[in-house]
Amino acid sequence: MHNITRVALVGGTHGNELSGIYLLKKWDKTSQFARWPQLELTQTIANPRACEHSVRYMETDLNREFALEDLQNYRLVGYEQLLAKKLNQQFGPRGRSPVELMIDLHNTTSNMGACLMLLRKDAFNIGMAAYVKDRMPEAVIYFQDNLPKERKRFLISVAQQGVTVEVGPQPNSVLQQETLELMETMTAHILDYVVLYNDDKLASLPAGFEAFQYTEDLVLPTDEQGQRLAMVSKRLDRRDFHPVEPGDVIMETFDGVPICWEGDYTAYPLFINEAAYHRSHSAMSMSQRIVLRCADYF
């Protein structure tokens, strides 16, 4: 078993998601980092200029700029493309990073609660998910390890291990105390887990836990001019991770025609009506409920 000591806490990857930015400020101010003396914790604001302007990004989404070929492509010189190269220097390089864990702090405008998003199913991540869900039953565990390789170009890909803490609903450029506290609780549990993991004291983990597994993305229908013809049905709004059965209404056109879920499985939608995805007319992502047994991974 490999020790996880160098841990990078990152906020402000999206400049208008305030909980991570303020959590780092709060922990700095109140010396909370000293709670984990066993770890070499660093804290970083990934996109300070976007934070200053309180926008998601200046030119392109920083959290989609970490594909290995893009990091190595010297012709990509947009603002966030350059920033990604700098962060890859600072925390990477991707594939050979000395940073053992990166925790990237995000908000969503969708009602996803405190969501732990994981890109791999390995013993470290499964243990983390089991631990967090056990200590924080309201947490949602979400696996997107089945995303196609070309979509795994998140900032956390630069480090050896990475997790995303995604908390909502919170409008962009807003700081809500309750959302901040959810993020704080989940992040502290993750760090507590890392210490236990290093000490090989995972015996008390639960046997298994409930999680959600990414399946597909749904977009709103548009006309030839790219104008939306429908919106997400109000039956779904704010009901992220609630089951949708085949045939259930999920959208409605502006003249009142219902659009139903055509999948052949019970879907659990997330990122319902997420503001950041409005340009692509994304309606929601779909997932399936799964139950994972820790014994299968240890």
Q: Which residues are annotated as a binding site?
A: 14, 17, 106
Q: Quick check: 255 binds its own copies (CB under 8 A)?
A: yes
Residue 110 Cβ vs its own copies, minimum distance, rounded to whole Å: 9
Helix, strand, coil percentages, rounded to 5, for the chain: 30, 25, 45
Distance separating alpha carbons of residues 193 and 199, to the nearest angstrom: 10
In this complex, which beta carbon is closest to its own copies, that of residue 47 or of residue 125?
Answer: 47
Question: What distances in angstroms separate CA 13 from CA 206, 272, 275, 287, one per listed residue?
Answer: 33, 21, 16, 25
In this complex, which beta carbon is closest to its own copies, that of residue 80 or of residue 184?
Answer: 184
The backbone torsions φ and ψ at residue 210, rounded to the nearest 5 degrees and listed phi first, read -85, 140
In this complex, which beta carbon is closest to its own copies, that of residue 35 or of residue 293?
Answer: 35
CA 247 to chain CA centroid, Å, is: 29
In this complex, which beta carbon is closest to its own copies, that of residue 177 or of residue 204?
Answer: 177
Distance separating alpha carbons of residues 104 and 12, to the nearest angstrom: 9
- Using CB under 8 A, pick the residue from 147, 275, 290, 295 that binds its own copies: 275
Q: Which run of H or E residues covers position 177? A: helix 177-198
Asked about 166 being catalytic, the answer comes back as yes
The β-bridge relationship of strands 140-143 and 208-219 is parallel
Q: Quick check: 221 binds its own copies (CB under 8 A)?
A: no
The β-bridge relationship of strands 113-118 and 249-253 is unpaired
Residue 48 Cβ vs its own copies, minimum distance, rounded to whole Å: 13
- Looking at 64-72, 127-135, 153-161, 231-239, which segment touches its own copies (CB under 8 A)? 231-239
Dihedral of CA atoms 26, 32, 34, 36 in degrees, nearest 10, equals -120
- Using CB under 8 A, pick the residue from 150, 178, 200, 262 that binds its own copies: 178
Q: Quick check: 234 binds its own copies (CB under 8 A)?
A: yes
Of 98, 130, 83, 100, nearest to 4 (Cα)?
A: 100
- Looking at 62-70, 153-161, 201-209, 267-275, which segment touches its own copies (CB under 8 A)? 267-275
Q: Quick check: 22 binds its own copies (CB under 8 A)?
A: yes
In this complex, which beta carbon is closest to its own copies, that of residue 127 or of residue 169?
Answer: 169
Q: Quick check: 32 binds its own copies (CB under 8 A)?
A: no
Distance separating alpha carbons of residues 262 and 270, to the nearest angstrom: 17
Q: Give the residues across from 270 on adjacent strands.
A: 285
Within residues 135-174, the interface with its own copies by CB under 8 A covers 169, 171-174
Contact residues toward its own copies (CB under 8 A) are 22, 25-26, 29-30, 54, 109, 169, 171-178, 180-181, 227-228, 231-234, 237, 252, 254-255, 273-276, 278-279
| Catalytic residue numbers, as ranges | 166
